[in-house]
Amino acid sequence: MRTSFLYRVIHSAKAEENFSYRGIFYLLRVLFLPPMTENMDYWVLGVSHKSCALEDREMFSLGEEARRRLLSSLVDEGFQDVLILSTCNRTEVFGLGGDLDRAYELFLTATGVKDERSKWVHRYSHLEAVNYFLRVAVGLESQILGDFEIIAQIKKAYAESKKNGAVTGKMERLVNSSIQASKQIRTETALSSGATSVAYAATHYIKSFVPDFSEKSIALVGTGKIGQTTCDNLLKHVSHRKLTLVNRSFEKAEKLAEKYHVHARSLKDLEAVVQESEVVVVATGADQYTLDKSLRIPSGTKRWFIDLSVPRNVDPDLNSEETEVISMDELNSITKETMQNRQSEVPAAEEILNHHLNEFLDWMRFRKASPILKAVRNHLEGLSPEEKSALKSSFDGAMGMNPTNTSRLDGAFAAHLKSEPKEFETRLKQLEHWVGEQGIR
């Protein structure tokens, strides 16, 4: 099984632009550490930009209520930890324990996908799933390499799962590891340098392809995270008086408009705003089209509709001689130069990621040893200094350890387990045997 997985890793990685032999070397190393099947029960399933095109990917998109129902279904089926990540470029479920085949069935039910498109759903488990989760979190699996916005989306997904009672300690530890890895990579590498976010791509498109863009009237529909970031980018290049914010909640749009000194309109005025604007950026994240063919658009003026949503919120049938609809996939293709610069940072980012993966694996192993370490600590509380010293000497002799390594018995246990990861299982059994001989319970 490991050989098959390793072959797939190398074969698929070499086909990618961000292939790194350093990352493959690390996988070779960790793959042959002791098996942790009983503890390493993480899994992931879903689709991403690597699985299928936008028009197919959006069929798997899950809104807030759909995510809540799926979380509830999985918890009811006995899954210990579940996190659902539904973004522009991926809809994936990360989980712990339970039957992966059953999770797959529930995922397809939640998305409503029952035809041949289900073949695009990827599934990973155990170490492969943990490694993949961390790579997603730090932007190594993003359509825009190094996209640091993904970690905020993971935090939001975790908060949503926690609110619905769908996460416990193990998933929390993995999420925290991903946050630390992301922070270190952003600080110590240039993987996220240069503006390549969706918001930047929209602004870059307007600057590059809309004639006299600084004089155009621009409407930004949707004031969520992406909408606000887009607003920040746009205002670096266009006049405040040329920008109008539109949101379902007029109060939210008005509050943001006051901050940026731009105009605000309610969503009920959308058609009028579109008629008055030449560029419309849509970042609404709705389950259906925000702009469709029923929209009355005056002729005689060229218009650009830039759709930052998945599923798409601008009907592609709005394309005409005078109206151009630009989708997420088109925007993601305009950042090649920055991607080439970021590509050189992949090895350094992978080295940092591998360090955090290794730390997480250590934590997983030591979870197995925690009961015996706790028993030893409890036992030590009732002993005199002389008795503790004698017990420590017995331990050093039985394990063949240098007595100067550590003065504390529980510290000696940890050192013995950490010193040679490949022998973890053997050493843990040695410790269990010695503890039994000493009558420690």
**Which residues on neighbouring strands pair with residue 92, listed in sequence order?**
46, 85
Supply φ then ψ for residue 304, to 5 degrees.
Answer: -125, 125
d(CA 189, CA 345): 6
Torsion sign (Cα): 229, 334, 323, 214? positive
User: Residue 233: what residue type?
Assistant: N
| Separation of CA 264 from chain center | 33
Contact 417, 361 (CB under 8 A): no
| 8 A C-beta contact, residue 46 and residue 60 | yes
**From CA 356, how far away is CA 177, in angstroms rounded?**
6
Whether the Cβ atoms of residue 86 and residue 61 lie closer than 8 Å to each other: yes
Pairing of strands 90-96, 81-86: antiparallel
Per the annotation, the verdict on 52 as an active-site residue is no
Query: Residues 47, 54, 70, 88: which is the catalytic one?
Result: 88
Strand partners, 326: 306
User: Annotated active-site positions, please?
Assistant: 88
